[in-house]
């Protein structure tokens, strides 16, 4: 049987006293949390421990005694042994250390057996002989040293939240150690330097950290949160006004990415400004991630603004925008003229070609007139639109994406016309091909059956089949050209959305924590041997393994309305072939709970 | 092991395998293969009957030839579309009258089509074809001539191959569709929209309506049927001969081989037929065809 004692490093040089900690049930281990020094009154110690137990919820108890005799303090051993009778325990640990030596010695007193199991050199051989005769096992002790402050602040991953289910296995030993140290915060308030009935040594004894800024921020955040929540409630009330729930407006606002981003940020701010502090590690991390993302977003947006409003950049942009749109329209016109000829030597049906080409040319002409109508207002729109970047870079990017969508609306229209025509043609052809062979589609059985048609059905069907077949290359070419254009626009918009999504969801705070304070996000522990001498107990140092960066990102990603491809590649190609309209990006809603 | 082998034991052999017998498993006695039947159900063909039936195939071939020669005339401008239209109309009316007079002689069990339904069908055909003829005319404008000829040839061949020679009425889907497809391809090569319309009406008559009439003639007056077939064949050869003598010679040869040579081969080769049937054949389920066919 091996007894593991988790000993804090800060107590290595503590004066002699009582060990306070917790026995881990189910495993043979104990966690030492603090050392209470002499002089003390046992009744006060017991009262203090009960008080701490009630406050923290950890089953604290006196584990044993610790002796580091300084000059002039001899004869403590018998005194310490007598203490075991005052604090009745199942097992009583007596840990001794000599100044100048690295190893500890530990004696374990069992209450019922009243035997002494000793690890020290002198009695070891005797004990072994005695035990071999009796056939019992010797109890070995391993000291695992840990840095108390780091373990207190660390969180083991994967995170187990909530009340542990009694049916599942109890948490592992390591988890229990970490949980014990983390929850024993009330124990660490009183220090040996405080004026109180008890003097204890723990991590605070190594020097308290000055975090006045944090305290000030904590004090200032309360009224700020109140202000933000009030503003948000006003904003939500405005948004829920009945007039905005009309169908066209609601449809538009769900399509425009700016509105989506706005609602998303509102959600975030609402999470941030809730009055109660974060319960649990996950909520705390999420809040901090949101806050840091938001601040970085706003900072980047302000950077963009400072660049944009300097040196008349807005006027330059506005002056290049209208000629750019003109240029796009001209290119489209040239493309259509090329299609109306004999593009790439393909055989097009001249009449249909002319019809389609003229139709699209008229559309482009309409569009150009619309752009020219809008041109005086472009600068103003850009100026006010650029102001939105002060809410964050994501807003500017969403606005850009929306503007691109609006400017290329004619390409979208062309794509829809071409796709519908092509789709109709493909369906007609497939159905008439079945008629050609004398078969028909059985809708009930979802299969192809033979069918005897009437004479007129056959005649008209064959005529239509011939017509559709010969007109197929023309329609297919128009469809192909406009689909490629549409896919280009979709790709560009997709890049914008992906970058917005990245800014929204990347857990900057968690990454910063992983880089600067890597012990706070722990994946496991590793042990290093400190002192291994035969005769003394084994001393190990427990170091926290930091979490891998990829796991950090995966665990702490803020869930967003991320856009991801709706179809796999095979399904996309099939849809393109048949002529169905494609909407390659799908927005996931944040309301998953 | 067989009837010539050593005399077996006195127990008679039974053709069963579930009883232990003193014979080996592959033993056969003298009743071996007595249930073998040779050439059961074989028909003895008579030459001239087969020739008469094969005449139908030749007739269909000549129909196609007539259609092609009509198209050739139209393309070279020797035949004007109005002439063709009027003659098709007259022929159609004559054929319709003949059809009705023949069907009045027979009590038809199925629903008779009323005159109104026929008129309606005719109106649909004509209006549709007339309406679409400008579109059909420009359909193959950009396709090269060779491709058009190749497509038409393949489609006419498919029509001949898939033609339902036993029950041509109603016409089978694939054969009629293939013929119409070929006629559209050819008709779109003609100079004007009216030409296209005339050609398509002619194609409809030749490929859709003529087989119905012929079937009716065959059912009612078999002797006249042979005469009609012969007439069509002669007409085909003659019509083609005026345009291209080489084509006419080819057609005559094809007709000759189909109607005269192939039956001879069939009758001759019948002698070499050697089918065996016996109890080892797969069971055949004979359905009563009249009960199985839906209404």
Q: Are A436 and A461 in contact (CB under 8 A)?
A: yes
Specify whether the CB–CB gap between A39 and A66 falls below 8 A. no
pLDDT value of residue A124: 44
Residues 6+ apart with CB under 8 A from A164: A170, A171
pLDDT at A346 over 80: no
**B295, pLDDT greater than 50:** no
Residue A160 confidence (pLDDT): 66
pLDDT band at residue A165 using 50, 70 and 90 as cut-offs: low
Domain locations in chain B as residue ranges:
47-76+83-104+115-268
Residue A591 has pLDDT above 80, yes or no: no
Task: Give residue-wise pLDDT tens across range B150-164.
Answer: 999 999 999 999 998
Task: Place B4 in a pLDDT band, splitting at 50, 70 and 90.
Answer: low
First-to-last C-alpha distance (Å) of chain A: 47
Angstroms from B274 CA to nearest CA on chain A: 36
Whether chain A has a CB inside 8 Å of the CB on B139: the answer is: yes
Transcribe B18-64 into DSSP letters. Answer: SS--SS-TT---TTTTTT-EESTTPPPP-HHHHHHHHHHHHHHHHHH
Distance from CA of B162 to the nearest CA of A (A): 11
Phi-psi region of A458 (alpha: psi -120 to 50; beta: other; left: phi over 0): alpha
Q: In this complex, which of A438, A453, A463 lies closest to B184 when CB atoms are compared?
A: A463
Q: Which of A39-43, A214-218, A248-252, B221-225 has the highest mean pLDDT?
A: B221-225
Nearest residue on chain A to B120, alpha-carbon basis: A456
Q: Is the pLDDT of residue A119 over 70?
A: no
3-state secondary structure of B235: helix
pLDDT tens sequence across A496-538: 888 888 888 888 888 888 888 888 888 888 888 887 777 777 8
Structure tokens at A185: 């915060």
Tell me if B141 and A465 make a contact (CB, 8 A cut-off): no
Q: What span, in angstroms and rounded, lies between the C-alpha atoms of A101 and A99? A: 6
Residue of B nearest to A440 (CA): B173
The whole-angstrom separation of Cα B295 and Cα B291 is: 10
Q: Does B176 touch chain A (CB under 8 A)?
A: yes
Of A337 and A586, the structure prediction assigns the larger pLDDT to: A337
**More reliable by pLDDT, A343 or A14:** A14
Determine the pLDDT at residue A429: 93
Task: Determine whether the interchain pair A455/B141 forms a contact, defined as Cβ–Cβ distance below 8 Å.
Answer: no
Q: Residue A571 pLDDT > 70, yes or no?
A: yes
Whether B60 has its CB under 8 Å from any CB of chain A: the answer is no
Mean pLDDT of B35-43: 82
Q: What number is the average pLDDT over the span B168-191?
A: 86
What is the pLDDT at residue A592?
36
CB contact under 8 A, B174 and A437: yes
Q: What is the per-residue pLDDT for A291?
A: 85
* pLDDT reported for residue B258: 92
For chain B, give the longest Cα–Cα distance.
Answer: 95
Cβ of A350 and B143 within 8 Å?
no
Asked if pLDDT for residue A122 goes beyond 60, the answer is no
In chain B, pLDDT over 70 holds for what percent of residues?
90
Q: A301 vs chain B: nearest CA distance in angstroms?
A: 58
* Cα A281–Cα A283–Cα A286 angle in degrees, nearest 5: 110
d(CA A8, CA A149): 9
% pLDDT > 90, chain B: 36
Top-ranked range on mean pLDDT: pick from A10-24, A67-81, A335-349: A10-24
A257-267 per-position pLDDT tens digit = 787 788 888 88
Burial class (CB in 10 A: 0-12, 13-18, 19+), B225: buried
Q: Where are the beta strands (DSSP E) in chain B?
A: 37-38, 276-277
Which residues in chain A touch residue B170, judged by CB atoms under 8 angstroms apart?
452, 454-455
pLDDT score at A470: 86
ipTM of the complex, rounded to two decimals: 0.79
* pLDDT value for A286: 83
How far is A119 from A136, CA to CA, in rounded Å?
Answer: 15
B141 touches chain A (CB under 8 A): yes
pLDDT tens-digit profile of A354-371?
888 888 888 888 888 888
Give me A342's structure tokens.
């004999």
- For testing contact with chain A, the best of B162, B167, B173, B180 (most A CBs within 10 A): B173
Q: Which residue of A has its CA nearest to B204?
A: A459
Q: Which residues of chain B neighbour A467 with C-beta distances below 8 Å? A: 132, 135-136, 139
Pairing relation of β-strands A17-24 and A29-37? antiparallel
Between A256 and B182, name the one with better pLDDT. B182
CB pair distance less than 8 Å for A350 and B121: no
At residue A590, the pLDDT reads: 40
Across the interface, of A349, A458, A471, the residue whose CB is closest to B177 is: A458
- Over the stretch B46-94, which tens digit does the pLDDT of each residue have? 898 899 889 999 999 999 999 999 999 999 888 899 999 999 999 999 9
Q: Which tens digits make up the pLDDT trace of A186-217?
A: 777 766 666 666 777 777 776 666 577 777 87
The answer, for B204 touching chain A at a CB cutoff of 8 Å, is: yes
Contact A487, A415 (CB under 8 A): no
The pLDDT of residue A587 is: 58
Beta strand A29-37 with A200-201 is antiparallel
Q: A159: helix, coil or strand? A: coil
Pairing of strands A2-8, A29-37: parallel
pLDDT of residue B65: 94
Would you give the DSSP letter of residue A336?
A: H
Residue to substitute from A353, A433, A440, A458, interface B, most B β-carbons within 10 A: A458
A529 in reach of chain B (CB within 8 A): no
- Interchain proximity B136–A437, CB inside 8 Å: no
pLDDT at position A169 is 65
Least confident interval from A107-116, A204-213, A496-505, B281-290: A107-116
Give the model's pLDDT for residue B108.
Answer: 57
Q: Using the beta-carbon criterion (under 8 Å), do B171 and A435 form an inter-chain contact?
A: no
Q: Which of B142, B159, B185 to mutate to test the interface with A (most CBs of A within 10 A)?
A: B142
Of B270, B233, B263, the residue nearest B65 (C-alpha)? B233
In this complex, do A462 and B124 lie within 8 Å of one another by their Cβ atoms? no
Mean pLDDT of chain B: 85
B152 touches chain A (CB under 8 A): no
**Separation CA A162–CA A417 (nearest Å):** 55
Find the angle CA(B21)-CA(B27)-CA(B31) to the nearest 5 degrees. 105
The pLDDT, as a whole number, for residue B182 is 94
Mean pLDDT calculated for residue range A77-97: 73
CB-nearest partner of A462 from B135, B141, B177: B177
- Rounded to a whole number of angstroms, the distance from the CA of A361 to the nearest CA of chain B is 23
User: Could you read off the pLDDT of B14-28 as tens digits, one per residue?
Assistant: 888 888 888 888 888
> CB of B127 within 8 Å of any CB in chain A?
no
Rounded CA-CA distance A32/A148 in Å is 10
- Going by pLDDT thresholds of 50, 70 and 90, the confidence category of residue A352 is confident
Following CA atoms A23, A25, A27, A31 in sequence, which dihedral angle do they give, to the nearest 10 degrees? -20
Residues 333-352 of A with CB under 8 A from B: 342, 347-351
Distances (CA, A) of A330 to A263, A324, A361, A362, B235: 38, 10, 10, 13, 62
Strands of A293-417 (E only): list them: none
Task: Give the mean pLDDT of A157-162.
Answer: 67
Question: Which residues is A16 bridged to in the sheet?
Answer: none
Q: Does A458 touch chain B (CB under 8 A)?
A: yes
């Amino acid at each position: 049987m091996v007894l593991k004692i988790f000993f804090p490093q800060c107590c290595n040089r503590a004066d002699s006293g009582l060990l306070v900690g917790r026995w881990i049930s189910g495993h043979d281990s104990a966690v030492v949390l603090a050392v209470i020094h002499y002089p003390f009154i046992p009744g006060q110690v017991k009262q203090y421990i009960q008080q701490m137990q009630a406050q923290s919820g950890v089953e604290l108890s006196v584990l044993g005694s610790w002796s580091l005799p300084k000059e002039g303090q001899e004869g403590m051993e018998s005194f310490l042994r007598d203490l075991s009778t005052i604090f009745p325990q199942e097992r009583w640990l007596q840990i001794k250390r000599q100044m100048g030596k690295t190893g500890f010695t530990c004696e374990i007193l069992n209450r019922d057996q009243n035997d002494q199991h000793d690890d020290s050199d002198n009695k070891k051989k005797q004990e072994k002989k005695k035990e071999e005769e009796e056939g019992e096992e010797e109890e070995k002790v391993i000291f695992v040293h840990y840095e108390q402050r780091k373990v207190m602040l660390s969180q083991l991953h994967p995170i187990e939240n909530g009340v542990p289910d009694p049916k599942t296995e109890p948490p592992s030993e390591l988890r229990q150690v970490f949980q014990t140290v983390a929850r024993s915060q009330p124990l660490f308030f009183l220090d040996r330097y405080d004026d109180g009935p008890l003097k204890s040594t723990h991590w605070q004894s190594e020097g308290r950290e000055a975090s006045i800024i944090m305290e000030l921020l904590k004090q200032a955040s309360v009224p700020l949160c109140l202000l933000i929540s009030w503003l948000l409630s006003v904003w939500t009330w405005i948004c829920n006004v009945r007039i905005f729930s009309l169908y066209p407006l609601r449809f538009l606002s769900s399509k425009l990415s700016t509105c989506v981003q706005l609602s998303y940020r509102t959600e975030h701010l609402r999470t941030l400004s809730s009055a109660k502090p974060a319960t649990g590690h996950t909520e705390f991390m999420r809040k901090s991630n949101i806050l840091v993302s938001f601040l970085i977003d706003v900072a980047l947006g302000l950077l963009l603004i400072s660049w944009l409003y300097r040196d008349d950049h807005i006027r330059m942009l506005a002056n290049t925008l209208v000629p750019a749109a003109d240029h796009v329209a001209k290119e489209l016109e040239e493309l259509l003229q090329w299609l109306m000829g004999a593009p790439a030597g393909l055989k097009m049906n001249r009449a249909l070609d002319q019809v389609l080409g003229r139709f699209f040319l008229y559309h482009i002409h309409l569009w150009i007139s619309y752009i020219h109508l809008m041109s005086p207002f472009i600068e103003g729109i850009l100026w006010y639109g650029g102001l939105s970047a002060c809410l964050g870079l994501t807003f500017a990017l969403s606005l850009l994406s929306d503007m691109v969508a609006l400017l290329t609306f004619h390409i979208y229209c062309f794509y829809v016309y071409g796709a519908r025509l092509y789709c109709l043609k493909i369906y007609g052809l497939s159905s008439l091909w079945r008629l050609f062979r004398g078969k028909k589609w059985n809708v009930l059985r979802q299969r192809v059956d033979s069918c005897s048609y009437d004479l007129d059905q056959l005649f008209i069907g064959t005529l239509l089949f011939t017509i559709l077949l010969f007109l197929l290359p023309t329609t297919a070419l128009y469809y192909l050209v406009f689909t490629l254009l549409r896919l280009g626009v979709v790709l560009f918009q997709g890049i914008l959305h992906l970058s917005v999504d990245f800014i929204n969801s990347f857990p900057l705070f968690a990454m910063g924590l992983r880089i600067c304070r890597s012990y706070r996000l722990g994946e496991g522990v590793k042990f290093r041997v400190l002192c291994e001498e035969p005769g003394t107990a084994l001393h190990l140092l427990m170091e926290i393994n930091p979490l891998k960066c990829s796991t950090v990102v995966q665990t702490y990603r803020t869930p967003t309305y991320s856009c991801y491809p709706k179809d796999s590649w095979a399904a996309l190609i099939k849809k393109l072939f048949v002529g169905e309209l494609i909407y390659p990006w799908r927005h996931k809603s944040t309301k998953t709970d | 092991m067989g009837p010539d082998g050593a005399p077996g034991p006195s127990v008679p052999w039974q053709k069963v395998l579930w009883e232990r017998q003193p014979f080996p498993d592959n033993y056969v006695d003298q009743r071996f293969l007595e249930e073998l039947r040779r050439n059961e159900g074989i028909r003895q063909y008579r030459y001239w009957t087969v020739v008469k039936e094969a005449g139908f195939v030749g007739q269909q071939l000549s129909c196609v030839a007539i259609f092609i020669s009509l198209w050739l005339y139209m393309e070279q401008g020797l035949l004007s579309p109005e002439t063709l239209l009027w003659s098709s109309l007259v022929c159609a009316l004559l054929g319709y009258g003949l059809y009705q007079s023949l069907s009045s002689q027979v009590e038809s069990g199925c629903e008779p089509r009323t005159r109104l339904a026929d008129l309606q069908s005719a109106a649909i055909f004509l209006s549709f074809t007339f309406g679409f003829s400008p579109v059909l005319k420009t359909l193959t404008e950009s396709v090269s001539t060779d491709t058009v000829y190749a497509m038409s040839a393949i489609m006419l061949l498919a029509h001949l191959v898939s033609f339902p020679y036993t029950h041509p009425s109603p016409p089978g889907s694939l054969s009629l569709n293939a013929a119409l497809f070929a006629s559209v391809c050819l008709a779109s090569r003609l100079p004007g929209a009216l030409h296209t319309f005339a050609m398509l009406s002619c194609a409809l008559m030749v490929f859709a309506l003529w087989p119905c009439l012929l079937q009716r003639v065959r059912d009612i007056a078999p002797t006249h049927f042979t005469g009609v077939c012969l007439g069509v064949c002669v007409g085909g050869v003659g019509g083609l001969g005026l345009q291209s003598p080489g084509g006419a010679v080819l057609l005559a040869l094809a007709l000759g081989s189909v109607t005269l040579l192939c039956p001879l081969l069939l009758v001759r080769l019948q002698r070499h037929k050697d089918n065996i049937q016996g109890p080892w054949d797969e069971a055949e389920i004979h359905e009563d065809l009249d009960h199985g066919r839906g209404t």
